[in-house]
Structure 1
Amino acid sequence: MSEYDFIIVGAGSAGCVLANRLSENGKFSVLLLEAGGSDLNFWIWMPIGYGKTFYRRSVNWMYLTEPIPALNDRVSYWPRGKVMGGSSSINAMVYIRGQQQDFEDWREMGNLGWGWDDVLPYFRKAETNDRGGDDFRGDSGPLHVATMDRDLHPLCQDFIKAGLELQFRYNPDFNGARQDGVGTYQNTAKGGMRMSTARAYIRPARNRANLRIEKRALATRILFEGKRATGVRYRQNGQEKQASARREVILSAGAVNSPQLLQLSGIGPADLLRKCGVGVHHMLSGVGRNLQDHLTVDHIYRAKVPTLNEQLYPWYGKLRHGIRYLLTRRGPLSLGVNQAGGFVATRPGLERPNMQLFFSPVSYTKAPPGKRPLMNPDPFPGFVISAQPTRPTSRGHLAIRSADPSEPPEIHPNYLSTEFDLQEILEGSRLLRSLAATPALRRVIDAEIAPGPQAQSDAELLADCRQRVGTVFHPVSTCRMGPDPDQDVVDNRLRVHGLVGLRVADASIFPTVTSGNTNAPVIMVAEKAADLILADHAPQSGGAH
């Protein structure tokens, strides 16, 4: 059995950050366990290649939820990264921090130290923005954030013009002083290639003598002496192994796998654990509860003008752009599919945006819900506009099915289970109709393919939403941070309530889902977590935690 100061479970968006920061000063030994393998894969590094990794079991957990009542009992497909870099290696790369008020909400929920002024320095510390640094943006961090404007499809400007015609403001930077408005997105990329946390944080650190990385190592149980976490048992290449932690075990396995591992280790709702044949080591009813996620509704249009479909559908188009990408790292293959968008309020009187918009100059009418076969679009010109309510009120849960670590957990997202969420998704659909009716977009639209002109009333649009809405892959809050051990899982220093030497640092600790894409705030959480951990183990503190 090997021994380290810190053991980090999961080399994803958070775990890679922690492995770098905790090994940086050379004083501590760190073991990083990753259930997946290497991220040295062409389809991971090429930005549009995530269409390939979307259904690739070698790099993806490929979870399925339980049937969802409000979505006509449809099952939702949840890709989650199972590879170095985790979901930052297979996501759509949009870099969005969230609204400043999101973090004020976290603080007001009893999480001191997590207000906007507390977290902004960590967003800046993580980032190198290609437009340069300022009061809001970083210019010297490991994570490179790229402006895509030079390669964007010209239709993005028509979308922005449509937003302006609806009286939304133009916003050149959704991560600047304010989030509201329409504009173009920035991506986590550098030199036309994906900037995952594996690339940003592990490549510079991987040769450190005090950092050991074990791939294809599935953590199966946290080990304890009394209430103190002392190590991790894991399965690697068919062998059962274990490692001990002198100081702490840190779970960074994500919103699905972190609560799953806690439950497998006897930490969670007692009734569930007993039912699954797991001994109750520490009752903590919040583990796996409070699940939140974003849903999106897509409206699909046939266009009168060229879109990316004509460039990427024919074999010669694929070949031409493939060669261009290989030679120059430019062109449509160097981008994600969500090129423009925005954050807007759907009705007067709202203090902040309640809807995120996405504009994609490409369409896939034959794809199953949520799937983006990016290199195989429709054989005719088309595009997609999407609306995503930013702060849903529905809450779901996840639970292990048995004591077997290799069995995926039950996931119950409970989407659209509140009247508020039904109203929000309907308002999103209505907003997409309003955008399409502007002079800017009416000029380029040939026909609405989905939901189609037959859907006009609220009831018809809501029926379309129930049939077609899908996740945007932002699950959070299953190990929620908060002061109440009866409902929350970790305190404001990310320590698991009632236990010693065990923390969680990933999307699962979010008190609420942020208003937008979740990857940037996960990286922020890990940067802040590293500072909290290092402070607790500084010489003057005696490493008592």
Structure 2
Amino acid sequence: MLPLLAAVALLSSTATANPATDYSWHGRRDYVTPSQLQASYDFVIAGGGLAGLVIASRLTEDANTSVLVIEAGETGDDVRSRIDIPIEAYFNGLMHTQYDWQYLSAPQPNLNNRNISWPRGKVLGGSSAVNGMYMVRPSALEMDTFSKILGSLDGAAAWGWDSMFAAMKKSELFTPPSSDVQSQANILYNQASHGSSGLLHTTFPGSVLPLIGSWSPTLNAVGIPPSPDANGGSGWGTFVATSAINPANWTRSYAKSAYIDPLPARPNLHIMANQTVTRVIFDSSSGTLKATAVEYANNGYQAKPWPTVAVNKEVIVAGGAVGSPNILMQSGIGPADKLKAAGVEVAYALPGVGQHAQDHLSTQVSFKTSAQTTAQLYASGAAIGTPYQSFINSAIAYTNITDLLGDNAAAFHQQIIGNLTTYASNPAMNPSTDPTVGMGYQTIYQANADMMLSQIGQVELLLSLTGSNSGADTFSVQAALQHPFSMGELYIATPNPFDYPIINPNYFSHEADIVILREGIKLARKIGQTQPLSDSVISEVVPGPDVQTDEQWEAWLRTVVGTEYHPGCTCSMMSLNEGGVVDATLKVYGTSNVRVADSSVFPIQFAAHLMAPTYGLAEQAAMIIKSQYDGTPSPAALHTQTATGTSANPTDTASSNKQSDAAASRFSISISTISVVVLAFILPSMLF
């Protein structure tokens, strides 16, 4: 994974991008300080990231419901140009600053003992304020697999495709691309698969470079056809992704700008930044833990005892894949052995907290090019102003196991199935000794294996035009593993909530992962050697012609792979006897009024970026919570679990005379601006 700082260093001497003169700012809100807090709130939300702000916005639609959001980071208002201008995210973003948690993994033995960077947004809006803005949804089969994992748990239907599709559309206000961008980028989209009345703006960039137009025909030439409706449940094949961009002013649309900034005054919503939730305080007198208060502190500088705020109804933990299990464990909920070793009193032994950690691993092949790149555009100053400021990476493809392994796919699949039981009991594969966590490992493993021979993507390919360590005159094709069989863990080591937890993703502990990613990166090279993309290639610069054999590829991968910024699954939604942490209503086992609502609850990884499904999850969470207190129908009651895997007939937004069969398949050919991107070089595209 190429570091962001290299890109910044590469361009800093020439780039002087500033906010456009017609830049439209949202008004500032009045935030509260500890001295301004009420004594109690109906709901206290621990974490003001993507999910936390969505839920806060939705719950406070009821003026009789009071909500406090506690966020460890700053508001972000002082760095809005670096958040809001899309291209700045790639060349002058907030990673490696005080607005990034800057987590590091433990040394990874299968990656030459390297510590892998795990950037996470530490600011209101969380990672939605710092990421690559991709709005890529999981496929219907993946969401229905998630729901099936839940079995007979009450509320499981809320997490199948039909229900989550509706929730993701509910969050979205989609604007089609311009006709010029459509024609240049060869974009296929189905208007019916997008939301038209949500709060989060999505669209395609307002400008696109010629290399983007080469993506779809090149991928088609190597056997990966265009996806006509990637957002409607068939998220495989080649497409230009929609992005979280507001076309009214070509700014980033994120949780804060979409769900909080436009709100009228709401006395029932308080947001407190620069304060860290240190633990949840419980009453255990009834035998089930009941949250009565939340403790917080000013980033560790306050002397104890730390202040608390009382909770009338619920605590909603929304700290993300790292923050949420950390808060639970510091509160005494987690694996008993880990808690005791860290010096934390066990309030409820819940062995799955922090377990089943999964992430997308990624790297890239880079090529010297004669074509224009975003890096050159930015360095020249041409990116200043709209619509050029909205140009980001967006060309993408999801390749299935047959694309990668051909006739060997079935035998590879059988080998994986045959090793399931062995791996579940191997400490190198499943770090936990708890039998319920082992059962959960097998459930997740089996789910990934069951999807393998379908059209579901096993590797994501991204076109990155943001330059590389080899220069601004390079582009890259990134390959990222989507359904890892390797699972790790996250746990606390001290009773100090400001000490970072130990993060062990256990990368490449299962050999299938390195085989799949190896074939993916070989395909990335092939794409750069295939017309029409190859017409703009001068030479391959990374890894270069010396890497040819499978052994050489694998050795190289161990030295360069890194996160694609999509960690999850550390508070998995599964049954208690499978090491689950939350049930299908997001309630933490062993508690009566604590939920976790963020990307940590997904039990499997998706062939997608986590932002879109996390917006859907947050919308579902708000509905679930409301249904308990005001009697409105829950998502599970509104939707029956299905497994369609396909979407409604696409609608044609392109010219009717260009459609060969307007009655049967009315697709919208629209080519997305942005250079189909990779996450590999710059900027996370996580969460959501």
TM-score higher than 0.5? yes
Question: Cα deviation per residue 1:454-477 (whole Å; 9 max; x = unaligned)?
Answer: 000000111111111111110101
Offset of residue 134 of structure 1: 4.7
Mapped to 1, the partners of 2:369 and 2:119 lie a distance apart of: 30
Counting strand residues as a fraction of each chain, which structure ranks higher?
Answer: 1
CA distance in structure 1 between the partners assigned to 2:593 and 2:555 by the alignment: 49
Q: Does 1:394 align with 2:486?
A: yes
Q: Which position in structure 2 is the counterpart of 1:233?
A: 295
Deviates more, 1:442-451 or 1:340-349: 340-349
Cα drift, residue 206 of structure 1: 6.5
Aligned to 1:128: 173
- Return the letter of the residue paired with 1:254: G
Superposed CA RMSD: 1.8
Task: Give 2:101's match in structure 1, choosing from 61, 77, 90.
Answer: 61
Could you tell me which of 188, 191, 200 is aligned with 2:258? 200
What does residue 276 of structure 1 align with?
342
1:90-128 CA-to-partner distances (Å, cap 9, x unmatched) read 011100111111111111112522111121110111111
Q: Which amino acid aligns with 1:64?
A: L
Q: Does 1:109 align with 2:116?
A: no
| Cα distance in 1 between the residues matched to 2:135 and 2:605 | 15
Greater relative contact order, per chain length (Cα 8 Å cut-off, separation 6+): 2
Inter-CA distance 29–485: structure 2 relative to 1 (3 Å threshold): farther
Structure 2: gaps of 5 or more residues: 1-37, 177-188, 410-452, 634-688
**Distance (Å, rounded) in 2 between the aligned partners of 1:540 and 1:362:** 47
The one-letter amino acid of 2:358's match is Q
Report the counterpart of residue 371 of structure 1 in structure 2.
none
Write the distance in 1 (CA, Å) between the matches of 2:267 and 2:577.
38
Per-residue deviation, 1:145? 0.6
**In 1, distance between residues paired with 2:466 and 2:283?**
55
Alignment deviations for residues 173-193 of structure 1 (CA, whole Å, 9 cap, x no partner): 421352222121211010311
Off by >6 Å, runs of 4+ in structure 1: none
1:308 correspondence with 2:374: yes
* Larger deviation, residues 464-473 vs 42-51: 42-51
Residues 312 and 498 (structure 1 numbering): CA distance in 2 closer, same or farther, change over 3 Å? same
Residue number among 564, 587, 607 corresponding to 1:515 in the alignment? 607
Q: 1:176 aligns with which of 220, 225, 232?
A: 232
The 3 A distance-change label for structure 1 pair 207 and 263 is: same
* C-alpha contact (below 8 Å) 2:75/2:123 kept by paired residues: yes
Q: In structure 2, what is the equivalent of residue 94 of structure 1?
A: 134
Taking the aligned partners of 2:273 and 2:372, their CA distance within structure 1 comes to 44
CA contact (8 A) 2:139 2:233 kept: no
Instruction: Please say if residues 368 and 539 of structure 2, whose CA atoms lie closer than 8 Å, have aligned partners that are also in contact.
Output: yes
Matched, 1:167 2:223: yes
Change (3 A) 1:55 1:117: closer
The alignment status of 1:453 with 2:492, answered yes or no, reads: no
Where 1:433 maps in the other structure, the secondary structure is helix
Equivalent runs, 1:11-30 vs 2, <5 Å:
11-30=48-67
Number of the residue aligned with 2:677: none
Taking the aligned partners of 2:343 and 2:318, their CA distance within structure 1 comes to 25
**Residue 219 of structure 1, aligned match among 260, 277, 290:** 277
Please give the secondary structure, in 1, of the residue aligned with 2:276.
Answer: strand
The answer to whether the 8 Å contact 2:95/2:130 transfers is no
- 1:290 maps to a residue whose letter is H
> What is the alpha-carbon distance in structure 1 between the residues aligned to residue 371 and residue 98 of structure 2?
38
What are the superposed Cα offsets for residues 36-59 of structure 1, whole Å, 9 maximum, x if unpaired? 111222101111222433434321
Give the Cα–Cα distance (whole angstroms) in 2 for the partners of residues 222 and 364 of structure 1.
Answer: 44
- Equivalent pair of 1:53/1:60 in contact (CA under 8 Å): no
Within a 5 Å distance, the mapping from 1:406-417 to structure 2 comes to 406-417=498-509
Identify if the C-alpha distance between structure 1 residues 91 and 269 changes in structure 2 by more than 3 Å, giving closer, same or farther.
same
Match of 1:373 in 2: none
Q: Distance in 1 between matches of 2:492 and 2:141?
A: 34
Superposed displacement of residue 307, structure 1: 2.5
- Normalised to the residue count of structure 2, the TM-score between the two structures is 0.73
In terms of mean alpha carbon deviation, does 298-307 or 282-291 score higher?
A: 298-307
- Of 140, 144, 150, the residue aligned with 2:201 is 144
User: Hey, what's the Cα distance between the residues in 1 that align with 2:577 and 2:259?
Assistant: 33
Of the three residues 556, 560, 563, the one matched with 1:464 is: 556
The 5-angstrom pairing of residues 368-517 of structure 1 reads 378-379=471-472, 381-485=473-577, 487-517=579-609
CA distances 1:145-202 after superposition (whole Å, capped 9, x unpaired): 1112x41111011222211111322235421352222121211010311111011111
Question: Which stretch of structure 1 is more off in the superposition, 428-437 or 65-74?
Answer: 428-437
Q: Does 1:255 align with 2:313?
A: no
Instruction: Verify the 8 A CA contact 1:355 1:428 in the aligned structure 2.
Output: yes
Q: Residue 416 of structure 1: SS of its match in structure 2?
A: coil
Letter in 1 for 2:606: T
Shift of 1:287: 0.4
CA contact (8 A) 1:339 1:359 kept: yes
Distance 2:55 2:369 in 1: 46
Shift of 1:9: 0.7
Q: 1:287 aligns to what? A: 353
Q: CA, structure 1 residues 520+475, in 2 after alignment: closer, same or farther (shift >3 Å)?
A: same
User: TM-score, normalized by length of structure 1?
Assistant: 0.91
- The aligned residue for residue 532 of structure 1 is 624
Give the Cα separation in 2 of the matches to 1:448 and 1:499.
Answer: 55
1:365 maps to what in 2? 469
For residues 324-377 of structure 1, the C-alpha deviation after alignment (integer angstroms, 9 at most, x for no partner) is x2xxx211x3233x22111122244631122211101232216xxxxxxxxxxx
SS of 1:443's equivalent?
Answer: helix
Q: Does 1:355 align with 2:459?
A: yes
Matched residues, percent identical? 33
Aligned-partner SS, 1:147:
coil
Q: 1:5 aligns with which of 27, 42, 47?
A: 42
Q: Which runs of 5+ in 1 are unaligned?
A: 367-377
Equivalenced residue count is 517
